[in-house]
A and B are shown apart, each in its own frame.
Chain A
Amino acid sequence: MRELAILVVEDEPEVREAIMRDLREFADDFLIEAAEDVDDAKDVLGQLSESGAAVGLILCDHLLPGERGVDFLIELNDDPATAPIRKVLVTGQAGLEDTVRAVNEASLDHYIAKPWTPEQLHEVVRDQLTDFVIDEWDDLLAYVSVLDGARLMAVIAERGHDR
């Protein structure tokens, strides 16, 4: 089975490290990569794609050096290869306008306001990855124990009936 990755894009080391730490409970089952700016994030996406891993979720800061998080997410959404990735904006500063753009143009899936709580972060990551595997993958059984098991079981049951 393909490895599933989570990409965190955040330029401030302290914040990035804190997010990585909070995502530790997913580390046994998913690849968790960090990037500090948009170019770096693109490098990581390239490497993951080479190694055969699929990116299921991007947690992206809004205020990044060089490019706004929203613009990066819009760019990803416009590329068929990256469009299915779940996109979550993590920011303390995006104005309403940017958020609206993110929802409308980048199909933003969720929005996490800083400061976050670990519970909130876990819930968003679990929900989004669950959505991703339901939409993209056939074999859901492997994720029942790590993602939203109830929803996955319901989908598995439904698909079983269809077949």
Chain B
Amino acid sequence: MSGLSSGERPLIVCVVDDEERGEHLRDDVDRIAGAEVAVAVFRTIDGALSALADFEDSNILVPLVLVGERVDDRKGIELLDDMQDRSRYRGTRKVVVTTTAGEAPERRRSRSVVDATLEAPWTDDALRDLLDTLVTEYLIEHAPEQLERVPDLVDVEVLSDAFTETERRLRSTDRQVRQLRRTFMAYKSMSDGEVEATMIAEFDRVLDHPSQVSFAAGETIVRSGESLDGILILTSGRARLSLVAGEGEIVFHSRTAGRIIGVMAVTLDRPAFFDVQAATDVTAIPVSAEQLDAALAESATLAMTFVTVLLRSFARRNLRGVEQQYEIDRLNRDLAADRDRLADALAELEQTQTRLIESEKLATLGQLAAGVGHELNNPVAAINRSVDFLEQDLVWLAGETHEPELLDEFLRRGIDHQPLSTREERRIRGELERAGIEPADARGLARIGVTSPDEARRALSGGAGEADRLERYYEMGLALRNISSSAERITSLVGSLRSYARSGDELNPETDVNQSLEDTLVLLAHRARDVNVIRAYGELPPIEAFPGRLNQVWTNLIGNALDAMGGSGTLTIRTEVVDAGHVKVQIEDNGPGIAPDDVDRIFDLHFTTRHGRVEFGLGLGLRIARDIVGQHDGSITVASIPGRTTFTVTLPVRQDGERVAVVSNAEGETP
């Protein structure tokens, strides 16, 4: 098999089972083809196939295969069929070597893959003829550069014919190319009108002056979704392409509609995409799909102009589409920006409304509180005076009895009574009982502040009824005291209420910050009963401030702290002078603290509307506090760790007159 891979010589393959004929064939082919061609002889079809399969990826050319009509009981044609299926050997010239003329019809009929037959025994001339013609043909087709390597085999006639044909084709192609170039160049330099006029004239000519259709301006030419069986060539007027979208109509192409209508639908075989309307009065040539095909085949000029018009038209439509997309994007961006601005404005409006409602509520409450406080002063004054009168009268009455000193003493004791804890009272009662005082007497005496057995015995010395009388006097004293102390508490509450809710919201140059904190604490006392309140008030200069608004700040901050501690804990209120121009208030609680993520947002307004009702959350109070501190040109900060949350408010001692005027006019609202 070494001969098979001999360089890059073309290989002629022979397949015959008869050994003698095989040798004969090899010798003859070798001699005729010359040294530049290799010859391989196989005894079996399978042997030949496996060798050819091996060569498939090499660059060895197999110009010719000669196969016996029958090889080992198999038909030689099987090999040729197999080779025909392999692209590498499809061009290989295929020859069947026959022995009997009688089988020729079958050969011819069945196998178009067979290029020629060689009848054995063959003559030298016949074999040479066959080899020359077939190898030359193969080489011209597949490797013309190899032709000169096999001068002995080249068939001059075949070669000459091939040259002639190639030359003819080249000339023809060249002509076509020149024609095309000329045409394109010509159309390129022509205006739209000229190309369109040429196209319309050509349609008119080729279709033999077809009748035209006309549409009045505004008339519908094609409806979107309609199926079309042809196109329209507009000969005059303009169309516009549009689509109905929602309640409106989007015009896609007006200037850019072009002269040819319906191409998209016809070529894509789909319903019309656009609504087509006559933008002006329109006349048009209707051209069916078949007419169009025929016309384009018939006239190169028509084809060229049609394509040119179509290309220009689609290029414009495409450009317009891009512009529209660009415009849509820009509008979308504008819309999104507008929407965001609106959403912001709405949120701001809601916040402002909420704050207005809140400050309105507070103002109303303040006026109410001030009014009620004022009204309460009269009855409280009357109570205070009545207590004094009663006391004087009781002392006088005691003097009228036979034991004035003792009664007077117990009246005084009642008045000066320091309330004992219930525990203490029970302890004293126990002591008296252990000293031999009757339990019923001990109970009564312990109540009226008799603490020692001696004292008890003295009080009981007056006999039956005396202890009762003493107790009554004591209790009268106690009642007077309770009336006084309760009235005092009312007076103090009213004072705090009025100071807190000072009706006028005016700048007070003498605002006492400690006092305003104290007023707030008094009013929040009901929420701070279990809270240990540490007052670390420093000496502060009076500052220029809106006292009513400051009270709101303290209420929010202290209220927050109380809420955070869940009703019990330690609240520390610290005030101090920072420098000559500023004072500082710190409100600190030992509640669980604010989550680090929330610290930065704690002053942000966040409230929810639920069931159509605005709920004021933590955020609102702190936002209001920040706004008010801001109005005073102060600052508010928060520092929080679990177990210690400190709000620090720094306020200037003096206000900037101009800025304050603005703040005053804002009536408590953020500018």
Bound CA–CA A33/B530 (angstroms)? 24
Minimum CB–CB distance from B569 to chain A (whole Å) comes to 13
Binds B, one of A35-43, A75-83, A100-108, A120-128: A35-43
Contact A18 B482 (CB under 8 A): yes
Bound CA–CA A23/B641 (angstroms)? 51
| Chain A residues near B526 (CB-CB < 8 A) | 63, 93
Bound CA–CA A66/B568 (angstroms)? 8
Contact A17 B419 (CB under 8 A): yes
Would you call A73 an interface residue if the criterion is a C-beta within 8 Å of the partner chain's C-beta atoms?
no
Q: Which of A12-45 contact B (CB under 8 A)?
A: 13-14, 16-18, 21, 33-36, 40, 43-44
Partner of A14, one of B475, B485, B529: B485
Q: Binding site of A, secondary structure by majority: helix, strand, loop or mixed?
A: helix
| Chain A residues near B423 (CB-CB < 8 A) | 36, 40, 43
From known contacts A17-B482, A21-B475, infer whether A63 and B529 are also in contact, taking CB-CB under 8 Å.
Answer: yes
Minimum CB–CB distance from A132 to chain B (whole Å) comes to 22
From known contacts A14-B482, A14-B485, A17-B478, infer whether A65 and B530 are also in contact, taking CB-CB under 8 Å.
Answer: yes
Q: Which of A72-124 contact B (CB under 8 A)?
A: 93
| A interface residues (Cβ-Cβ under 8 A, vs B) | 13-14, 16-18, 21, 33-36, 40, 43-44, 47, 63, 65-66, 93
Q: Count chain B CB atoms within 10 A of each CB in A17, A33, A35, A63 and give the residue with the most.
A: A17
Would you call B422 an interface residue if the criterion is a C-beta within 8 Å of the partner chain's C-beta atoms?
yes
Q: Which residue of B lies closest to A64 (CB)?
A: B529
| Chain B residues near A65 (CB-CB < 8 A) | 529-530
Minimum CB–CB distance from A52 to chain B (whole Å) comes to 14
How many A-B contacts if CB must be within 8 Å?
A: 33
Interface size on B, residues (CB 8 A): 16
Bound CA–CA A43/B485 (angstroms)? 29
Q: Which residue of B lies closest to A10 (CB)?
A: B422
| Chain B residues near A33 (CB-CB < 8 A) | 422
Contact B529 A40 (CB under 8 A): no
| Chain A residues near B486 (CB-CB < 8 A) | 14
Would you call B421 an interface residue if the criterion is a C-beta within 8 Å of the partner chain's C-beta atoms?
yes
Q: Which residue of A lies closest to B420 (CB)?
A: A13
Q: Binding site of B, secondary structure by majority: helix, strand, loop or mixed?
A: helix
From known contacts A14-B486, A17-B478, A17-B482, infer whether A36 and B421 are also in contact, taking CB-CB under 8 Å.
Answer: yes
Contact A34 B529 (CB under 8 A): no
Bound CA–CA A36/B426 (angstroms)? 12
| Chain A residues near B425 (CB-CB < 8 A) | 34
Minimum CB–CB distance from A77 to chain B (whole Å) comes to 23
Q: List 19 A-B contacts (CB under 8 A).
A: A13-B419, A14-B482, A14-B485, A14-B486, A17-B419, A17-B478, A21-B475, A33-B422, A34-B425, A35-B422, A36-B423, A40-B421, A40-B422, A43-B423, A44-B422, A44-B426, A65-B529, A66-B530, A66-B568
8 additional contacts (CB under 8 A) given A35-B422, A44-B426? A14-B485, A16-B422, A17-B419, A21-B479, A34-B425, A36-B423, A40-B421, A63-B529
Q: Which residue of B lies closest to A28 (CB)?
A: B440
| Chain B residues near A93 (CB-CB < 8 A) | 526
Q: Which residue of B lies closest to A16 (CB)?
A: B422
| Chain A residues near B529 (CB-CB < 8 A) | 63, 65
Q: Which residue of B lies closest to A11 (CB)?
A: B529
Bound CA–CA A93/B568 (angstroms)? 18
Contact A34 B422 (CB under 8 A): yes
Bound CA–CA A63/B525 (angstroms)? 12
Q: Which of B303-361 contact A (CB under 8 A)?
A: none
Bound CA–CA A114/B421 (angstroms)? 22
| Chain B residues near A14 (CB-CB < 8 A) | 419, 482, 485-486
Bound CA–CA A93/B529 (angstroms)? 13
Partner of A36, one of B422, B475, B530: B422
Minimum CB–CB distance from A85 to chain B (whole Å) comes to 18
| Chain A residues near B482 (CB-CB < 8 A) | 14, 17-18
**Which 7 pairs show the lowest CB-CB distances between chains A and B?**
A13-B419, A14-B482, A34-B422, A36-B422, A35-B422, A40-B422, A14-B486
Bound CA–CA A47/B526 (angstroms)? 32
Q: Which residue of A lies closest to B483 (CB)?
A: A14
Q: Which residue of A lies closest to B430 (CB)?
A: A47
Bound CA–CA A35/B97 (angstroms)? 135
Bound CA–CA A152/B396 (angstroms)? 47
| Chain A residues near B421 (CB-CB < 8 A) | 36, 40
Bound CA–CA A13/B486 (angstroms)? 11
| Chain B residues near A13 (CB-CB < 8 A) | 419
| Chain B residues near A18 (CB-CB < 8 A) | 482
